[in-house]
């Protein structure tokens, strides 16, 4: 799978619910995890690879890779925490983003089994970041406008340098 970068319209669109969790979805889930690992990311959502479906993968340290299909965030903690985030679709750019510390999520896995998960810390962080991708939201949308503008400028600078280097 090819990761789309900032500038792609698809990153700004809402993903659609998956109707059948079949063998195709199983294969997509495997490829999502593989692409996430290759990119050394801790999460990757369908829209980031041009797949406008409600699916994402998350793999944080000391945990197994997890697939979330048609997720619903049931609860989030009142308490917010700041943590530095990056995104495989916006390489080279990092910023501290404030988000709920913990959450409860319901979803289906790649085998079609429903599950509910309570998460905190980095796992909750990754889930919220990936869930945003299903809504067409990027992490810097959660920052003040001036900060966002600066980040976009930085990203463009990094990209143009990479293109010069080939």
Active site residues: 130
Q: Does 21 bind Ni ion (CB under 5 A)?
A: no
φ, ψ at 135 (rounded to 5°): -100, 0
Q: Considering the complex, state which of residue 49 and residue 87 has its C-beta at the smaller distance from Ni ion.
A: 87
CA dist 80 and 97 (Å) reads: 10
CA dist 55 and 85 (Å) reads: 20
> What is the total count of residues that contact Ni ion (CB under 5 A)?
1
Q: Considering the complex, state which of residue 14 and residue 111 has its C-beta at the smaller distance from Ni ion.
A: 14
Q: How far is the CB of 10 from Ni ion (least distance, A)?
A: 13
Q: How far is the CB of 140 from Ni ion (least distance, A)?
A: 10
**Where in the chain does DSSP place strands (E)?**
43-45, 55-58, 66-76, 80-85, 95-100, 102-108, 114-120
Q: How far is the CB of 135 from Ni ion (least distance, A)?
A: 12
| Beta pairing partners, 43 | 58
Q: Considering the complex, state which of residue 21 and residue 54 has its C-beta at the smaller distance from Ni ion.
A: 54
Q: How far is the CB of 47 from Ni ion (least distance, A)?
A: 9
CA dist 108 and 120 (Å) reads: 19
Closest C-alpha among 10, 112, 20 to residue 51:
10
Sketch the per residue contact string, 86 through 125, with Ni ion: x for CB under 5 A, - otherwise. Answer: -x--------------------------------------
Binding site for Ni ion (CB under 5 A): 87
């Amino acid at each position: 799978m090819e990761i789309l970068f900032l500038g792609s319209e698809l990153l700004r669109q809402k993903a659609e619910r998956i109707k059948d969790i079949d063998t195709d979805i199983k294969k997509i889930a495997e490829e999502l995890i593989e692409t996430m690992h290759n990119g050394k990311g801790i999460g990757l959502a369908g829209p980031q690879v041009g797949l406008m479906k409600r699916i994402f993968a998350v793999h944080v340290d000391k945990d197994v890779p997890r697939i979330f299909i048609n997720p619903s965030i049931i609860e989030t903690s009142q308490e917010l925490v700041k943590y530095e985030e990056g995104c495989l679709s916006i390489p080279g750019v990092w910023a501290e983003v404030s988000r709920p510390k913990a959450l409860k999520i319901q979803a289906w896995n790649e085998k079609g089994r429903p599950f509910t998960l309570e998460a905190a810390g980095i796992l909750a962080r990754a889930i919220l970041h990936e869930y945003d991708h299903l809504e067409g939201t990027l992490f810097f949308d959660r920052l003040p406008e001036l900060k966002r503008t600066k980040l976009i400028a930085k990203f463009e600078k990094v990209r143009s340098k990479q293109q010069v280097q080939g």
